[in-house]
Chains A and B, each alone.
Chain A
Amino acid sequence: DAGVIQSPRHEVTEMGQEVTLRCKPISGHDYLFWYRQTMMRGLELLIYFNNNVPIDDSGMPEDRFSAKMPNASFSNLKIQPSEPRDSAVYFCASSSDSTDNEQFFGPGTRLTVL
C-alpha cells in the first residue's frame, strides 16, 4: 500500500488566496483525520470523518476553514481566504477498526501564507 498520500507537499500563497489541501487515505480505512502542526500550538486535530461523514469539527479554527470527504478515497481541506497565521504543516491521517486506533499519517503539506 502506498500509505496516506497528501498533495501538494509544499504550498506558498499570498494572503487572501484560497488554498486547497488534498488527502487520499489508505484503501479500506474508514476514519480520516486532519491535523495542523505549529511550533506554538503543537499538533491540533482540526476535524475527523467516519465513513465520509464529519464527526467532530470542533477543532476547525474558524469559518475560513472547511473540509469535505466526497468519497472514501479523497478528502480536501480548504482555507478561504488564507491568512499568514494559517502557515503550518497540515497532516492527514487515516485508520480503521482493524488498526485498533492506530492512525497512519501522511507526509504533510507545508503551507506558507505570505
Chain B
Amino acid sequence: AQSVTQPDIHITVSEGASLELRCNYSYGATPYLFWYVQSPGQGLQLLLKYFSGDTLVQGIKGFEAEFKRSQSSFNLRKPSVHWSDAAEYFCAVGPYGNEKLTFGTGTRLTIIP
C-alpha cells in the first residue's frame, strides 16, 4: 500500500529565509509525486509534480522539489520565502493513471517578519 509521511506538522520561518518541507513516501513502483498548497479557506492548488526524468522539478511560485529514490523522499524547497507563502502544504503519491492519490497530513507554514 502506498503512504506518505510529512514529519513536520508546523514550521515557522522568517521572511526571506530558505525553506525545506520534508516528504517521505512508501510505494512499490515508481511513484507519481505531487506537492499541493492550500491557502486558508481555499482548495488545494498544485505546486509541482514528478513522474520521471530530471529528479529536480521546478514548480510555480519559485518552489522546487527533488526526488531521491534512495531516500524515498520528495522534499520541497524555496530559497527565499515571502509572507504570501504562509499556507498548508501537502505531499501526495499515486500510481500511473488517474487513480486515487494518497495525501500526507500536511505541514502548516507560518512566516514571521
Query: Which residues of A approach B to under 8 Å, CB–CB?
Result: 4, 30-31, 33, 42-43, 45, 48, 50, 55-56, 91, 93, 95-97, 99-108
Q: Which of B36, B51, B98 contacts A97 (CB 8 A)?
A: B98
**Whole-angstrom distance from the CB of A22 to the nearest CB of chain B?**
15
Q: Please name all residues of chain B whose beta carbon is closer than 8 Å to the beta carbon of A104 when the two chains form the complex.
A: 46
Q: How far is the CA of A102 from the CA of B35 in the complex (A)?
A: 10
Q: Does B44 lie within 8 Å of A102, measured CB to CB?
A: no
Q: How far is the CA of A57 from the CA of B10 in the complex (A)?
A: 31
Q: Does A42 lie within 8 Å of B32, measured CB to CB?
A: no
Q: Please name all residues of chain A whose beta carbon is closer than 8 Å to the beta carbon of B97 when the two chains form the complex.
A: 97, 101
Q: Which of B42, B45, B106 contacts A42 (CB 8 A)?
A: B106
B103 CB within 8 Å of chain A: yes
Q: Please name all residues of chain B whose beta carbon is closer than 8 Å to the beta carbon of A56 when the two chains form the complex.
A: 100
Query: Which residues of B approach A to under 8 Å, CB–CB?
Result: 32, 34, 36, 42-46, 49, 51, 90, 94, 96-101, 103-106
Q: Does B49 lie within 8 Å of A101, measured CB to CB?
A: yes
Q: Which of A31, A43, A102, A106 contacts B103 (CB 8 A)?
A: A43
Q: Does A105 lie within 8 Å of B43, measured CB to CB?
A: yes
Smallest CB-CB separation from B103: which chain A residue?
A43
Q: Does A101 lie within 8 Å of B94, measured CB to CB?
A: yes
Q: How far is the CA of A56 from the CA of B98 in the complex (A)?
A: 12
Can you name 6 A-B residue pairings with CB atoms under 8 Å?
Answer: A42-B106, A91-B43, A93-B44, A95-B98, A101-B98, A102-B49
Q: Please name all residues of chain B whose beta carbon is closer than 8 Å to the beta carbon of A43 when the two chains form the complex.
A: 44, 90, 103, 106
Q: How far is the CA of A40 from the CA of B42 in the complex (A)?
A: 18
Q: How far is the CA of A80 from the CA of B43 in the complex (A)?
A: 25
Q: Does B32 lie within 8 Å of A100, measured CB to CB?
A: yes
